[in-house]
Amino acid sequence: MNSATTLIFVYGTLKRARSNHGWMSGQTFISQAMTQPRFRLHDLGGYPGMVLDEKQGVSIHGEVWEVDADCLMRLDDLEDIAGGEYAREWVPLLPPFDQQPVQGYRYLRELTDEPECGACW
């Protein structure tokens, strides 16, 4: 990884063969990965939202990608960082990524009736 790229953990529609995977065009797939058991995944109606749950969290299944700065800006737009839907932050992953700085998108809005969807979207 060079200084102009970022490792990103994706867990929903950005994964390979999913509806928004085209946003990852030209980027480098690294590996499948899992978060430490600190999160829950909710179905937000066509896409998932990963929320923090330190007490009863599970390990979320996803993928690690190496993305360039242009892709990262596009992903921030897609995830509506400016509008407050998601935050891009460090995501604690299980080995072999536990010692690497990997970022991901955590859902920020209040959940009402959105059902949990397990550990994998």
- Contact by Cβ (8 Å): 42, 114: yes
| Nearest-angstrom CA–CA distance, 121 and 118 | 8
Q: Which one is catalytic: 54, 63, 66, 79?
A: 79
Distance (Å, whole) CA 27 – CA 21: 11
Q: How many of the other CB atoms lie within 10 Å of CB of 5?
A: 16
Phi, psi of 42 (to 5 degrees): -120, 145
Cβ proximity of 52 and 60 under 8 Å: no
Instruction: Let me know if 79 is a catalytic residue.
Output: yes
Active site residues: 79
